[in-house]
Amino acid sequence: MKDMLLAVLRYRYFIFSSIKNDLRARFIRSKLGGLWMIIHPLAQVLIFALILSKILAAKLPGIDNKYAYSLYLMAGTLGWTLFFETIMRCLGIFIDNGNLMKKMAFPRICLPLITAGTMLVTNLLLLLAIFGVFAALGHFPDMQALWLPILIALTLMLAMGVGLVLGVLNVFMRDIGQVVPVVMQALFWLTPIVYSVSILPEAYQKWFKMNPLYPLFASYQNVLVFGTPPMWRELGWLFLAAVALLLVALMVFRRASPEMVDAL
């Protein structure tokens, strides 16, 4: 583990320049450039909001705003976008960079760190855009929004732990790459992001609250929409799980790293 940390430190400029190049390469021939990083997720949010707000607006307690559902949806989508896109990028990270890994000698751990940096920058741009939309809709988050950096860091840690394990397994078992998108789609609808858990029948609410992602994304909605603190007790357990998962992911990665180039 110490060798891995020293390698990351030595290659820190390579990591930073790769993040910059990754962001630039996505939109190098696009006239709107990096704005597409904001437009894509915002378009998805607005479509959901416009279609579903009329149906669910009256069933969202604790929000005194006629655009209540849009606010609620944007807050949950902010966290889910970071979680989902980080996992999906990590899933194919070693396969997509197979040629680079064969031709260049560099610490392989740089690849997931570049992905994490890219996803963080993208999510922060989305956060700025959402704050702009909130202001346009007449909603201004209070001091509870200062907890957002902790929620974002926890989301990224959890996603990197899951994504790194799946990315390594995907090198040796390509079916993983086909199964994960289906599982993620099911997980999205099983997590109260586009609906409030309170609108579900009481008998089912406890089952949905057992979803380990529920306190994480509900906390985004708490601090951004309801002005209440995150669900600290549940998040504490999730933090311990994220740390454990990240350590397991690093061990799996370290053990599989010498064989990955041959499998690619």
| pLDDT at residue number 54 | 62
Between 68 and 163, name the one with better pLDDT: 163
What is the pTM for the complete model shown? Answer: 0.87
> Is it the case that residue 52 has pLDDT exceeding 90?
no
Biggest CA pair distance of the chain: 58
pLDDT, residue 220, reads 95
Tell me: pLDDT of 28 over 80: no
Is it the case that residue 105 has pLDDT exceeding 80?
Answer: no
Task: Report the range of poorest mean pLDDT among 4-13, 48-57, 75-84, 160-169.
Answer: 48-57
Q: Given a cut of 90, is residue 239 above it in pLDDT? A: yes
**pLDDT computed for residue 149 by the predictor:** 95
- Residue 84 — pLDDT band, cuts 50, 70, 90? very high
Could you report the per-residue pLDDT of 141-179, keeping only the tens digit for each?
Answer: 889 999 999 999 999 999 999 999 999 999 888 888 889
- More confident: 261 or 171: 171
Give the pLDDT band of residue 57 (cuts 50, 70, 90): low
Band of residue 79 on the pLDDT scale cut at 50, 70, 90: very high
The secondary structure of the chain as a DSSP string is -HHHHHHHHHTHHHHHHHHHHHHHHHTTT-SSGGGHHHHHHHHHHHHHHHHHHHHHGGG-TT--STTHHHHHHHHHHHHHHHHHHHHHHHHTHHHHTHHHHHH----TTHHHHHHHHHHHHHHHHHHHHHHHHHHHTT----GGGGGHHHHHHHHHHHHHHHHHHHHHHHHH-THHHHHHHHHHHHHHHHSTTSS-GGGS-HHHHHHHHTSTTHHHHHHHHIIIII-----HHHHHHHHHHHHHHHHHHHHHHHHHHHHHHHH-
49: confidence class by pLDDT, cuts 50, 70, 90? low
- How high does pLDDT run on average in the chain? 84
